[in-house]
Amino acid sequence: MSFTLASFGFGLSNREIATLVYLGLLLITVLLWKNGRPLAFNVIRAFFMPKLVLLWLLMSLYVAACVWLLTRLNLWEWPNLKSTLLWWLTVGFSSVFEARRLKDKPHALRKLVRDAFTLSAVLLFIAELVSFPLWVELLMLPALVFLTLLIAVGEHQTDNLGVSRVLSLLRGLQILAGFTILGFSYWLVAASVTEFWTLNTLREFGLPLLLWLMFIPFIFLLAVYMSYEEAFIHLQMRPKQAPITRYARWRALLAFGWNIDGVKRLTRDIRERDIADKQGVKEAIREIKRLFKIGKNPPAVMRDEGWSPYAAQLFLEEYGLVTDDYHRTQWGWFADTPSVKLNDKVLADRISYHLTGNEHAVTQLRLALDSSNRNDVKEAQRAFDERALTLLAKTFDAKRATAIYISAQTSEPEVLVIDGIRVSLDRSDWGDARLGGYVRKLTIQHPTHQEGN
């Protein structure tokens, strides 16, 4: 039996040929460009760093094991080799970035699984079944890439009204091109259904999906490893915590396993509470486990005690202002959210949200706007007003929120007292009227609040 490239699925479509042509031209240009060669070699050297080489090797062995298993289940054959290698070179290597995203947002794992079953995967597969004549592909590919780059650049220039109109036109062209390609593909597939829909075609469709689902555990374990590595490397650089870093790592592994959130909480508590002994690590782990358990069934908090930390964390959820876990620090119990940008500008105004109190209840909430005079001051104030009203509605009630906010503005900078709860607005300016800015704060303080809680 003779073997050809087609026997391993390496029959190239016109679209793939066009892609290889342009990749080849790009490579030749970089190598011939005097200033480009050092950059290219630096990228290659970075790609083959010892730690990355080990990662690529482990990833490749894992993919090979997945293919072996699919072969045993009669779900993979040699004609699927090309699509497998393409998946390995694209999705496989880019999964490192998915691992980083998963490390920062552990709950994104469900989204990874969900994305594999989206309608777009079916549409993309059918669009790739057929291609235009080679000369059309050679013209279309750079045009689409150029159009995408123009849109990407334009999205960072939205301050100009003219740019917004051009962006709308470019997006329209992009949508039209997409529908044209899809329409052409569907028409050809429908005209020759028996030719396209073979057993191997079904394998080609299902293979990326199966490989992706089988690859998700590898991404998750990689995210866990990266979380441990990143979390504890910061402790190793602190002279006081360096001696207990190895002990803390093993205790975290035994206590939390692949619970990334638990590991992050432990290393944060060690830093913030300046823990420097093994007993302190044990106590921190016990407290984190206890808080995890409480978080699954939060206790009710009476109004005369303050606000429930688990409810207060979500008071401004609709604006993307969700705090981290409510935890102990050297100065009391605390939770906050990193400042959120109001728009996509480089020097955009930012809003942050902070909670402080005691172990059982939040006794002070603070909303802060960090604004620059170079931005739209009215827009920033409107955003602050919306969030301030929502926060007052959560801490008092919706009926009184507007009246309380107006009264607080009227009495500013004096403190307004409602039902024993202190409400204050204040503003501190910095710089000058043109290049400076200001910080605007709304503070809601329960009667039981004590500084240093």
Confidence of residue 431 (pLDDT cuts 50, 70, 90): confident
**Is residue 229 in some structural domain?**
no
**Is residue 450 in some structural domain?**
no
**Residue finishing a domain among 176, 206, 221:** 221
Q: Report the pLDDT value the prediction gives residue 43, as an integer from 0 to 100.
A: 76
Q: Report the pLDDT value the prediction gives residue 315, as an integer from 0 to 100.
A: 95
**Is residue 453 in some structural domain?**
no
Confidence of residue 3 (pLDDT cuts 50, 70, 90): very low
Least-confidence region, from 38-52, 60-74, 193-207, 317-331: 193-207
Task: Give me the mean pLDDT over the 332-356 stretch.
Answer: 88
Asked whether residue 425 carries a pLDDT value surpassing 90, the answer given is yes
Q: Report the pLDDT value the prediction gives residue 171, as an integer from 0 to 100.
A: 79
Cα 270 from Cα 277, distance rounded (Å): 10
Instruction: Pick the more confident residue, 337 or 346.
Output: 337
Region at 420 (left for phi over 0; alpha for psi -120 to 50; beta for the rest): left
Cα 116 from Cα 87, distance rounded (Å): 14
Answer yes or no: do 286 and 387 share one domain. Answer: no
Task: Supply the DSSP symbol for 11.
Answer: P
Task: Give me the mean pLDDT over the 331-357 stretch.
Answer: 88
Answer yes or no: do 440 and 406 share one domain. Answer: yes
Match 């809601």 to its residue by tokens.
Answer: 444
Helices within 237-277 (DSSP H only): 245-256, 260-272
Cα 100 from Cα 87, distance rounded (Å): 19
Cα 197 from Cα 14, distance rounded (Å): 19
* Total count of domains within the chain: 3
Calculate the CA 424 to chain-centre distance.
35
Q: Report the pLDDT value the prediction gives residue 163, as an integer from 0 to 100.
A: 67
Task: Supply the DSSP symbol for 320.
Answer: T
Answer yes or no: do 19 and 120 share one domain. Answer: yes
Cα 57 from Cα 8, distance rounded (Å): 23
Segment 351-407, tens digit of pLDDT: 999 999 999 999 999 999 999 988 888 889 999 999 999 999 999 988 899 999 999
The 10 Å CB-count burial string (b at 16+, else e) for 32-51 is eeeeeeeeeeeeeeeeeeee
* φ, ψ for residue 124, nearest 5 deg: -65, -40
Least-confidence region, from 124-128, 215-219, 402-406: 124-128
Coil/strand/helix, residue 327: strand
Nearby residues of 147 by Cβ (< 8 Å), 6 or more positions away = 170, 173, 174, 177
Mean pLDDT of the chain: 82
Max distance between CA atoms of the chain, in angstroms, equals 91
Confidence of residue 203 (pLDDT cuts 50, 70, 90): low
Answer yes or no: do 82 and 212 share one domain. Answer: yes
For residue 81, give the nearest of 24, 11, 17, 20 by alpha carbon: 11
**Is residue 193 in some structural domain?**
yes
CA distances from 140 to 148, 154, 180, 259, 358 (A): 12, 21, 12, 46, 62
Report CA torsion sign: 9, 15, 16, 21.
positive
Least-confidence region, from 132-141, 312-321, 421-430: 132-141
Asked whether residue 291 carries a pLDDT value surpassing 70, the answer given is yes
Nearby residues of 380 by Cβ (< 8 Å), 6 or more positions away = 342, 349, 369, 371
Answer yes or no: do 431 and 287 share one domain. Answer: no
The 10 Å CB-count burial string (b at 16+, else e) for 369-383 is bbbbbebbeeebeeb
Q: Report the pLDDT value the prediction gives residue 101, as an integer from 0 to 100.
A: 72
Nearby residues of 261 by Cβ (< 8 Å), 6 or more positions away = 106, 325
Instruction: Pick the more confident residue, 357 or 96.
Output: 357
Q: Report the pLDDT value the prediction gives residue 125, as an integer from 0 to 100.
A: 52
**Is residue 35 in some structural domain?**
yes
Answer yes or no: do 319 and 170 share one domain. Answer: no
Answer yes or no: do 190 and 46 share one domain. Answer: yes
If one counts every other C-beta atom within 10 angstroms of the C-beta of residue 408, the result is: 22
Asked whether residue 297 carries a pLDDT value surpassing 80, the answer given is yes
Asked whether residue 127 carries a pLDDT value surpassing 60, the answer given is no
**Is residue 19 in some structural domain?**
yes
CA distances from 440 to 96, 278, 351, 370, 381 (A): 40, 42, 9, 7, 9
Q: Which domain holds residue 214?
A: 8-221
**pLDDT above 70 as % of the chain:** 83
Confidence of residue 11 (pLDDT cuts 50, 70, 90): low
Answer yes or no: do 187 and 274 share one domain. Answer: no
Instruction: Give the H/E segment covering residue 166.
Output: helix 161-191
Asked whether residue 1 carries a pLDDT value surpassing 50, the answer given is no
**Is residue 233 in some structural domain?**
no
Confidence of residue 120 (pLDDT cuts 50, 70, 90): very low
Q: Report the pLDDT value the prediction gives residue 441, as an integer from 0 to 100.
A: 95
Task: Give me the mean pLDDT over the 198-209 stretch.
Answer: 64
Answer yes or no: do 139 and 191 share one domain. Answer: yes
Confidence of residue 68 (pLDDT cuts 50, 70, 90): very high
**Is residue 207 in some structural domain?**
yes
Asked whether residue 126 carries a pLDDT value surpassing 70, the answer given is no
Instruction: Pick the more confident residue, 5 or 447.
Output: 447
Instruction: Give the H/E segment covering residue 365.
Output: strand 362-372
Confidence of residue 214 (pLDDT cuts 50, 70, 90): confident
Segment 13-33, tens digit of pLDDT: 777 777 778 888 888 887 788
* φ, ψ for residue 352, nearest 5 deg: -130, 165
Answer yes or no: do 197 and 321 share one domain. Answer: no
Asked whether residue 2 carries a pLDDT value surpassing 50, the answer given is no
Answer yes or no: do 289 and 331 share one domain. Answer: no
Asked whether residue 151 carries a pLDDT value surpassing 80, the answer given is no
Answer yes or no: do 439 and 370 share one domain. Answer: yes
**pLDDT above 90 as % of the chain:** 33
Segment 300-329, tens digit of pLDDT: 999 889 999 999 999 999 998 999 999 998
If one counts every other C-beta atom within 10 angstroms of the C-beta of residue 8, the result is: 16
